[in-house]
Amino acid sequence: MAYSLSQSYFGANLISDFNFINYADPSNGFVRYQSQPDALAKSLYFIDPDTQAVTLGVDNKNTFVLSDGRPSLRLESKRQYNHGLFIGDFAHMPPSVCGLWPAFWMYGPDWPTSGEIDIIEGANQATKNIISGHSTSGCRIPDSPAAAGQPLLLDCESPGTTNNAGCNYLPPASDTHTYGDAFNAVGGGVYALEWTSEAISIWHWPRQSIPDDIVAKNPDPSSWGLPSALFGTSTCDVDTYFKDMSIVIQTNFCGDYAANIWGKDGDTCNQRAPTCVEYVANNPTAFANAYWEVNYIDVYEQGLATNTTASPSEPTTTTTIKSTSTIYTTVPNPATIVTSITHNGTVIVSTATVQSQVSSVVLSTVVGPTATAPPSPSTDPLVPEREPATIGEYAYLGCFGSGTGFQSFLLKASAADMTLGKCIDLCRPGKYAGVRESECFCADDLDPDTRATTDRALCNSPCPGNNTQLCGGTTTTSPSKKRDAAPRAHAPPPPPPRRALNLPPDSLRPPHRRSTPQRPAPRRLGTPRTLHLDARDDGDLHHRLRDRRGAPDARGALYHDPGAGVRQILR
């Protein structure tokens, strides 16, 4: 039976049809969730007057005492669902930054009896998404599920033997744009969840690989191939373990996920501050790009009359830039070994990072260790025709710009025969390698003003040693389309520039909390960490939105090695 659109959440109706939760976080986050009036007064959300995309941000201007919490948003749909097809289109999500724990998920009112499915979740520097299920005893992932993703823990019981970790999947090895910086580097994408009595299936596509039937509002899951994650079938009766679930989108800080993996199992966030709370409390500008940009969340049901309601399309933008560079980075293999960290009785699942090839990313975007490979290099504009998707253990991240001259990068060498491979060799075993024309730059980290550009054609300079490759770009200026030509009355200022640097970090996510504080909150899995990206401080949300098409001083191609701790960029 075909699906018909029953509800489309976008623009003002996303705000009106979701509750703004403002009670204490059940997951012990360093956060103060805001009511709708308070969120509006603090400019934490914004509706684009042209596209109706909704931006959900966090406070990025103030410091707080350690007993307080950073203002943020947690929205829950007023309607509860049983079965359906849920499709979320996100142009941007919170980046792979220390202290963050964002999530897009569903859960029922009596947790864990009514179940929980985490569609997008991660924490700190993660760049790979982890999809999880939580239930009471008796629900498991099949031993050989018909899914493209890689199962981690099989028992969905929460708390259970894994103490709220639930059952989980890593993305398919070919899907490298699933979370954080890697997701943002390709302009975001779409997640879809189909919920039937037989199974709950979840798919992901990067921006340029979204199926035509989804774009046409006539989705047909039977044509999408294997899902990334599958819950149910013979090992879990879906109607018994999952019911009356609401849709949730939130950005948390620290808590049982990000704080508990701080400095553990490869996480390097402790190099920034001894604890997660200290870092989040004292570094507001680190969260300038910690926002969701929601194009729409569509809900389809079977047996309804055809609904022709349409949602706005994603806006297009250009950026003014002076130079660009190409960046490569190494990425962790999704097929990593599951480990667990015990802290205060809580077990958080994370993955060991290993080096692996990743699929290609767009010339002007940053692809992280978890970026999703476009289907066809010959037809998909996200696939760089002249840049190798991977060079050894390094993965192509995309075209980057910097408002501070790539201050975290050091010039390693200048050569008349410079190529992408040559620069990577010079930067090994570093984390990042960046090239601009004849210059090779290496770095251990990305500064807040270094970020991916949305214009994939800005890196247009042939490499001196191989003119089939592109090594950054020269001065180019394009007209910029401001999203907020005139701020509307009562509309909160637009959020941070979506171009904030998107590298392949692997942020881990802690467990999500239930709608009522007294209920035990489910724990989120940790995702592999990689590169972390901080956005520049553009002032308040309104200023940042206006400057969203702003111009970084330089751009270049970037490759990144998630296994190392260094990153390189050229300018």
SS3 374: coil
- Give strand pairing partners of 56: 45, 292
Q: Of these residues, 121, 194, 293, 387, which one is catalytic? A: 121
Residue type (1 letter), 557: A
Find all residues with CB under 8 Å of 514, minimum gap 6, and list them. Answer: 26, 107, 111, 520, 521, 522
DSSP 454-471: S-TTS--PEETTEEEEE-
Positive or negative: CA dihedral 20, 23, 29, 30: positive
Cα distance between residue 545 and residue 415, in whole Å: 39
Residue 488 DSSP class: P
Q: Reply yes or no on whether 393 is catalytic.
A: no
Cα distance between residue 369 and residue 393, in whole Å: 11
Q: Are strands 131-134 and 167-170 parallel, antiparallel or unpaired?
A: antiparallel
> Does a cis peptide bond (omega within 30 degrees of 0) precede residue 510?
no
Cα distance between residue 338 and residue 384, in whole Å: 32
Please check whether residue 317 is in contact with residue 480, taking contact to mean a CB–CB distance below 8 angstroms: yes
SS3 426: helix
Q: Of these residues, 76, 116, 314, 439, which one is catalytic? A: 116
Q: Reply yes or no on whether 437 is catalytic.
A: no
**CA-based end-to-end distance of the chain:** 54
Please check whether residue 74 is in contact with residue 250, taking contact to mean a CB–CB distance below 8 angstroms: yes
Closest CA to 19 of 75, 99, 92: 75
Please check whether residue 550 is in contact with residue 563, taking contact to mean a CB–CB distance below 8 angstroms: no
Cα distance between residue 297 and residue 463, in whole Å: 42
Cα distance between residue 174 and residue 316, in whole Å: 27
Structural element, H or E, at residue 133: strand 131-134
Residue 15 DSSP class: H
Quote the Cα angle for 360-366-368, to 5°.
Answer: 70
Residue 476 DSSP class: B
Q: What separation in angstroms does the CA of 258 have from each of 128, 230, 261, 502? A: 15, 26, 6, 19
| Catalytic residue set | 116, 121
